[in-house]
Amino acid sequence: MARGITEQDVHVAADELVMAGERPTVERIRAHLGTGSPNTVTRHLETWWQGLGGRLNQRAEELAFPEAPEAVSTLAGQWWKLACDHARAQAEDSLNSERAALAEERDQFTRDRQVMLAHAREIETQIESARTSEQTAVARSAELQRLVAHLEVQIRDLVDQRDAAAARGAEANQAIHALAERLQQSERDAQAERASLSAHIQATENRAGLEIDRARQEVRELRTRLTTLTKSQVEVERTLREAAEAANAAAVEARQQLLAERARADALDQQLSKLRDLPAALRAVMQRTSRQSGAGSQAKVGTRRRRD
């Protein structure tokens, strides 16, 4: 690595510029040296200006000495020439070293600059990719915000629908309970009426049986009388026919009453069958209500079919 410039380098460069008839400035010193940062050159140039007055006074004092003899002057000139040659040789060696160091520093600077440019291009690529990612993220964020707002609206609508469905479900449950109570009452009434009809039918059958028994008894009595009253056969036969006809008429009437009671019982059975179908209709209503509300309950109503 090339060494940095020293204060002596700046002072020498400033002296050389003054000898060349130029005013020493930061730019001229850096151009003369071929290197050096502006801050370093400025700091060393300030010390050069501060020491300029003292060097001028010292030069004036040297010029005030009387002239030396010619032999001394000649010898001094030779020594001075040797000193100048030696100083020039050292200066050239130092200058060559400085130039070599400067060339190496320039090459290193060029390499560093290329590396920095490549790194800068990589950073620019990363920045551009980051900007693209940021734009994509912003767009996705906006889309997500719109989706969240839409979902919030849907959630509020679903909550309202759920509340409405719950209210309808409560109303349906109340209606189902009322219908179930009415069904139970109708079943109790139908059972009571059926029991009453059964008792009436049984009583009618009993009466018909008694009538038939009585008619049979009368027939037996008539037959008994027929065996004993052989002399009045025609009259007995007429009486028997009348009794038989009366008995038959009574039996027919009893059978008609029995058929009428049985038809009424069948009508009541049909009404009971319709009432038994009512729980199935109630279950269908409850299922529709359950599907609308999403949380309904299914009412289980057991039915038993009675057969006579």
pLDDT of 50: 93
pLDDT of 301: 45
Distance (Å, whole) CA 103 – CA 111: 12
pLDDT of 125: 87
pLDDT of 81: 67
Distance (Å, whole) CA 265 – CA 199: 11
Length of the chain: 308
Does the predicted TM-score (pTM) go above 0.75? no
pLDDT of 213: 85
Buried residues in 272-289 as b, exposed as e (16+ CB within 10 A): beebbebbeebeeebeeb
Residue 35: enclosing H or E segment and its boundaries? none
**Averaged in consecutive runs of 10 residues, what is the pLDDT profile of the chain (308 residues)?**
77 93 94 92 94 83 62 66 67 70 75 80 84 86 85 86 84 80 82 81 80 82 77 72 82 84 82 71 73 56 52
What residues contact 235, with CB distance under 8 A and at least 6 apart? Answer: 229
pLDDT of 44: 94
pLDDT of 83: 61
pLDDT of 2: 43
